Amino acid sequence: MAEKRIFNFNAGPAALPLPVLEEIQSSFLNFNGSGMSITEISHRSPWFDQVINDAVERTKRLLNLDDRFHVLFVQGGASLQFAMAPMNFLTDGRSADFVNTGTWSTKAINEAKILNKEYSVAASSEDRNFCYIPKDISFNPDAAYVHITSNNTIKGTQWHTFPDTNGVPIMADMSSDFMSRPLDMDKFGMIYAGAQKNIGPSGVCMVIIRKDMLDMATDEIPSMLRYSTYAAKNSMYNTPPCFGIYTIQLVLKWLEETVGGLEKMEAHNQAKGKLLYDLIDNSDFYRATADKDSRSLMNVTFRLPTEELEKLFVEKAAEKGLGGLKGHRSVGGCRASIYNAATMEAVQALVEFMESFAKEN
């Protein structure tokens, strides 16, 4: 590509794999010999059938999904799922357990509250400003589901092992670490992930739902808010976000064929995380904000000695072609989002910059 690209550490919309962007660019005006762009073809055409079906099949292969699971594409991002899930499952006095690990969990709990649904907060890390993942949690055995946020982009925490819920299905918002590691899918009744952090552009949310969960869902809500609507129509009850699904398909192809699967993706992510956290831990200039055993491999959050230095750090990093390092506005500080598409070269360049910035200041 002619233009020089920066190293992109944005939290979302985030970096996409360069080979995916190049494939989109090369086929954008004439997709698959159709004489049309992917943004112009009919979602009822055989061209798009191939795209969506391939995305579903690749998802199933990467996660070792059996026939118990549906793969769906829903608009409205993860934020719609905060409301859609309780609308579907918390009927007839059924209750859900939530684990509150920060902003996104809090928003999910608030939607259940707005809908006047039954719920309990089984555990929370709010007592220490959400810098850790709770352990040894007691769940309600009669809960419809246990809701967790697998990775917190703002606080920089991540579930490294998932809780024992004694058979209650886990529902996970995996927007920011989906497809970054293998999963034991037997634990999960449903996973949802806004695409724009790890698997595609904004505008589409992938939902993976187990059929027994789907069977428990109500049909007494509007059609577009029912998971059964999407499952029955292969996510094409109405016009789906075609370009977003196409990009996801290409990212999944990259994960499967170029990276070599989720075990290799996880090893790569662990190596990137170690490089960055080792620098922070061996420095008296940088300070990680999350407890060591709860640290995210996707969003590395850290502070400098003063807010003035943090502002200067972000400015100087941008001058060096390192973008998106400002922390979330709600917490300040700095954040490097090193999702799947962030290369080791990008992380090495960041580490070198951090070392030189610390020496100079």
Residues designated as active site: 104, 173, 197
Beta carbons of 82 and 89 less than 8 angstroms apart: no
Distance CA 126, CA 129 (A): 5
**Residue 239: exposure state from Cβ atoms within 10 A (0-12, 13-18, ≥19):** exposed
Pairing of β 299-303 and β 69-74:
unpaired
Q: Say how far apart CA 328 and CA 334 lie, in whole Å.
A: 8
Q: Are 149 and 104 in contact (CB under 8 A)?
A: yes
| Largest interatomic CA distance in the chain | 63
Using an 8 Å Cβ cutoff, are 130 and 152 in contact?
Answer: yes
Helix axes 344-360, 307-319, angle to 10 degrees: 130
The Cα 76–Cα 71 span in angstroms is: 16
